[in-house]
Structure 1
Amino acid sequence: MDQKLQVAGTQSQLEMGSLASNESSHEFEDESLFSPESVIQKMQLGHISDYGSAPGGSKMWKNVVYKSIKTGLVFFLSLLGIIPLAERLGYATEQLAMYTGPTVGGLLNATFGNATELIIAIYALRNGMIRVVQLSLLGSILSNMLLVLGCAFFCGGLASAIVNSGLLLMAVMGLLFPAVLHFTHTEVHYGKSELALSRFSSCIMLGVYAAYLFFQLKSRKDPYVPLSEDDSQNRENEGDNDETPEIGKWESVIWLLIMTAWISVLSEYLVDAIEGTSHAWNIPIAFIGVILLPIVGNAAEHAGAIMFAMKDKLDISLGVAIGSSTQISMFGIPFCVVVGWIMGKPMDLNFQLFETATLFITVIVVAFFLQEGSSNYFKGLMLILCYVIVAASFFVHEDPPPEEKSLTP
């Protein structure tokens, strides 16, 4: 009888031990839930308060918050630092163009007028962030056509405004066909035909832009002045606009190199902090690329267009706004496609359906606004409010994952 009781006691102890081991294993599994990765994941979902009482949770929480604040500060300080550098870069380019003559000066303005956007795009392209490149270049076009042009119209008031938007429509066509080819699944070789078409179209667009520069510099000095104006008025305008350089030729070159180097350094920090800022501050990458980056890169152009419009020089404001949009669409985007081709990066002209439709609608709206050949305050206000709608649209727009692009239909 005693032996049976001892055996039963031993079995009960073994069962209790197994239960204890199971409870300890469950406790171990529960503790494993407090790994740094799970903490960060749950904190991003809004469960920060769950870790206040966990052992070491407050320390992890502080580290995550510190990294989030640090990443955001690096991003926004880099943005703020680029603004004055972009303005000085434009100033140095204008001063150097006064020494080189109209032909080389036009090429300089075409190359360095949007140098900030191109530098940011090349750094992002080197890091494989193709969508950031596409979104930032698209945002530069939208901000110039809607925000800059709208501010110029609003500040300038009543004036004549005749612009040829043919190149912008051609750029939209170049961006539209690869997107339609992709989303209709009509490629001969899926994934390859789209890229080949983008590279071929980019070479064509660069050739057309070179012809446009030749036409602008040789045939007409100012494509934004109506052809019906008298030669005497053109001579008066040329006499009024005669300017002398404020700094020397080599001094302009030195400042141009210094500003470009500093913008390159800040652009590298900026590009590295884009994804971290998007996750830490819950800001869509589409909104960062289309709205924040172009506003900073075009800050000098925004200010210049508004100042010229307030001085009743709307033709110069149109040259800044529409000319910059033309440079980005016909030179900047194809140039990045060719650079990506050289780097081995699959940069193409497929800007996705939402982005391409936004650009198409914007170009059509601006073309209708300029069709009458005049501007007023109300047109400027409407263009500015259109840009606000575009910004709100991209703030709620979720960019499709890159894996979708490689799936077979």
Structure 2
Amino acid sequence: MDNTHSLGVEINSQLEMGSLDGKTRSDLEDLNLVSSQPIDRKTSSLNITSQKSFFGPPDSKEFGCKCIFSCIVYSIKTVLFSNKLNLLLPCGPLAIVVDKLTNHQGWVFFLCLLGIIPLAERLGWATEQLAFYTGPTVGGLLNATFGNATELIISMHALESNMIRVVQQSLLGSILSNMLLVLGCAFFGGGIVHYNKEQVFDKASAAMNSGLLLMAVMGLLFPTVLHFTHTELHYGKSELLLSRFSSCIMLVAYGAYIFFQFTSQRNLYTPVNEEESPTDRSSDDEEVPDMSKWESVIWLFILTALISVLSGYLVNAIEGASIAMNIPVAFVSVILLPIVGNAAEHAGAIMFAVKNKLDICLGVAIGSSTQVAMFGIPFCVVVAWIMGRPMDLNFQPFETATLIMTVLVVAFMLQEGTSNYFKGLMLIFCYLIVAASFFVHIDPESIKDQPKTQL
């Protein structure tokens, strides 16, 4: 025992003096005769400045402060200066300045739109960073949830201002934009890049999302038919009661859908691509996050707060902007607002389609539409109920008919489980028809809704 101890001490002393070569050192380490801890500690202390995490343990207080400061600077640089869209970030503060100093609501609205675009894109990017530390199911749900955070924030501000029609139309526009414009551009871009081969995706996942969207159409259709056929049992009350009951059912159904995703043997967010080669899988494994998990969480809160501030100015400027630009409020709510809110989904869906990851692309586009229809709209109805606002699921015949046709068109496009550039082109053309229709559509309801009969 004493000989072994003395031998270890002698070898360690020789290692510290650099008298043993690399081969001898590695052999001794394999035999557990030498501990690599002292040298590893020196190496980690020399490389501590390259750590990207906020919470790495520093060797000394002074050096730890410098490390944390450098990490914060690096994180800010990564978030704010790594994307060309961030050139639009000054438009947000400029919109606030214009609102305080002038009365040009058109400029305030336009600058708020431009300012929210990079924030929405960065919000989606931060969600993708956080998704690196979660499973594919949680990552897909995070992408869908925070991808729709902008629309929900705008809806909450509109509810506070009693702009119920703006809430309804902006959420409807988010569904239309995701299903027609985002998915159409993704199919078109992926079809052009992969022109020589047919892109495929999982039909089971697409069929399930289509079924949920048809259920949402049912929830929106019956209150509308009840109102315009004048068949309410209690006039002014039955429609609102039915809307709130249907909203609760839709929320429970969406919760069951989430539970099914977590408990089913097959993950609906896992890409199913039979033509994926081993080289593609190895390239996917090389993708690493740009920041730590807690940095991603902190940036999610910061970006959500910034979007919330700008959304308040945006909602307050909608009516004035509609008058100043001579554009119907319905077009602003259904077309312009969702395009801004879906900036992250738009870029992400096209990127995944170009990489031939159509299952993730559908999870972003159709998954976001499903979440807005089955969670976003019912959630706003319940929140309005708590706030004392009479929001219902009566989306007017024009908007309801548009949603029905959109869901049917997309369901037929997805039933084969294949994609090409022509399908994407047709979806884009459908969205252009919808946009033109709302540009000439006059909403019969005022932007400031009159209070309905309370229960």
- Scaled by the length of structure 1, the TM-score of the pair is 0.77
Equivalent of residue 392 in structure 1, options 436, 441, 452: 436
Query: Separation in 2 of the partners of 1:207 and 1:238?
Result: 37
The alignment yields a C-alpha RMSD, in angstroms, of 2.5
Query: Separation in 1 of the partners of 2:366 and 2:280?
Result: 21
**C-alpha offsets along residues 111-152 of structure 1, whole Å, 9 cap, x if unaligned?**
322100100010001110000000000000001110111111
1:311 shift after superposition: 1.8
Equivalent of residue 308 in structure 2, options 264, 279, 285: 264
Q: Tell me which residue corresponds to 2:13.
A: none
User: Is the contact between residue 135 and residue 289 of structure 1 (CA under 8 Å) also seen in structure 2?
Assistant: yes
1:128 paired to 2:162: yes
Equivalent of residue 352 in structure 2, options 300, 308, 318: 308
The change in CA–CA distance for 1:223 and 1:104 in structure 2 (over 3 A counts) is closer
1:168 paired to 2:208: no
Query: Separation in 1 of the partners of 2:270 and 2:410?
Result: 15
Q: Tell me which residue corresponds to 2:294.
A: 250
- Please tell me the residue identity of whatever aligns with 1:84: P
Query: Separation in 2 of the partners of 1:366 and 1:393?
Result: 19
Query: Separation in 2 of the partners of 1:233 and 1:381?
Result: 25
Which secondary structure does the structure 2 equivalent of 1:99 belong to? coil
Q: Tell me which residue corresponds to 1:177.
A: 222
Equivalent of residue 105 in structure 2, options 71, 76, 92: 71
1:156 paired to 2:190: yes
Equivalent of residue 222 in structure 1, options 254, 259, 268: 268
Structure 2 residues without counterparts, runs of 5 or longer: 1-100, 192-197
**C-alpha offsets along residues 287-323 of structure 1, whole Å, 9 cap, x if unaligned?**
0000000000001111111122122222221111111
Query: Separation in 2 of the partners of 1:185 and 1:224?
Result: 47
1:345 paired to 2:389: yes
Equivalent of residue 121 in structure 2, options 87, 98, 102: 87
Q: Aligned pair count?
A: 338
Q: Bigger CA drift: 86-95 or 169-178? A: 86-95
The change in CA–CA distance for 1:346 and 1:241 in structure 2 (over 3 A counts) is farther
User: Is the contact between residue 119 and residue 303 of structure 2 (CA under 8 Å) also seen in structure 1?
Assistant: yes
- Please tell me the residue identity of whatever aligns with 2:334: V
The change in CA–CA distance for 1:396 and 1:241 in structure 2 (over 3 A counts) is same
Q: Tell me which residue corresponds to 2:26.
A: none
User: Is the contact between residue 390 and residue 452 of structure 2 (CA under 8 Å) also seen in structure 1?
Assistant: no
User: Is the contact between residue 145 and residue 368 of structure 2 (CA under 8 Å) also seen in structure 1?
Assistant: no
The change in CA–CA distance for 1:405 and 1:253 in structure 2 (over 3 A counts) is closer
Query: Separation in 2 of the partners of 1:358 and 1:210?
Result: 26
- Please tell me the residue identity of whatever aligns with 1:159: Q
1:106 shift after superposition: 5.2
After TM superposition, the structure 1 = structure 2 runs for residues 10-29 of structure 1, keeping only pairs within 5 Å, are none
The change in CA–CA distance for 1:209 and 1:238 in structure 2 (over 3 A counts) is farther
The change in CA–CA distance for 1:205 and 1:251 in structure 2 (over 3 A counts) is same
Which secondary structure does the structure 1 equivalent of 2:289 belong to? coil
Q: Tell me which residue corresponds to 2:83.
A: none
Larger radius of gyration: 1
**C-alpha offsets along residues 348-374 of structure 1, whole Å, 9 cap, x if unaligned?**
111111000000011011111112221
User: Is the contact between residue 248 and residue 378 of structure 2 (CA under 8 Å) also seen in structure 1?
Assistant: yes
Query: Separation in 2 of the partners of 1:175 and 1:141?
Result: 13
Which secondary structure does the structure 1 equivalent of 2:444 belong to? coil
Query: Separation in 1 of the partners of 2:241 and 2:356?
Result: 46
Query: Separation in 1 of the partners of 2:331 and 2:230?
Result: 28
Query: Separation in 2 of the partners of 1:266 and 1:76?
Result: 11
Q: Tell me which residue corresponds to 1:195.
A: 240
Q: Bigger CA drift: 232-241 or 193-202? A: 232-241
1:281 shift after superposition: 1.4
Q: Tell me which residue corresponds to 1:34.
A: none
Query: Separation in 1 of the partners of 2:173 and 2:317?
Result: 19
User: Is the contact between residue 199 and residue 338 of structure 1 (CA under 8 Å) also seen in structure 2?
Assistant: yes
User: Is the contact between residue 174 and residue 372 of structure 2 (CA under 8 Å) also seen in structure 1?
Assistant: yes
Query: Separation in 2 of the partners of 1:177 and 1:106?
Result: 31
User: Is the contact between residue 183 and residue 424 of structure 2 (CA under 8 Å) also seen in structure 1?
Assistant: yes
User: Is the contact between residue 224 and residue 318 of structure 1 (CA under 8 Å) also seen in structure 2?
Assistant: no
**C-alpha offsets along residues 4-28 of structure 1, whole Å, 9 cap, x if unaligned?**
xxxxxxxxxxxxxxxxxxxxxxxxx
- Please tell me the residue identity of whatever aligns with 2:342: N
Query: Separation in 1 of the partners of 2:230 and 2:422?
Result: 43
Query: Separation in 1 of the partners of 2:281 and 2:157?
Result: 40
User: Is the contact between residue 106 and residue 217 of structure 1 (CA under 8 Å) also seen in structure 2?
Assistant: no
Query: Separation in 1 of the partners of 2:437 and 2:336?
Result: 14
1:376 shift after superposition: 1.5
User: Is the contact between residue 224 and residue 319 of structure 1 (CA under 8 Å) also seen in structure 2?
Assistant: no
Larger relative CO (CA 8 A, sep 6+): 1 or 2?
Answer: 1
After TM superposition, the structure 1 = structure 2 runs for residues 367-406 of structure 1, keeping only pairs within 5 Å, are 367-402=411-446
Query: Separation in 1 of the partners of 2:178 and 2:154?
Result: 17
- Please tell me the residue identity of whatever aligns with 2:116: I
Query: Separation in 2 of the partners of 1:394 and 1:121?
Result: 19
User: Is the contact between residue 160 and residue 375 of structure 1 (CA under 8 Å) also seen in structure 2?
Assistant: yes
Query: Separation in 1 of the partners of 2:284 and 2:259?
Result: 22
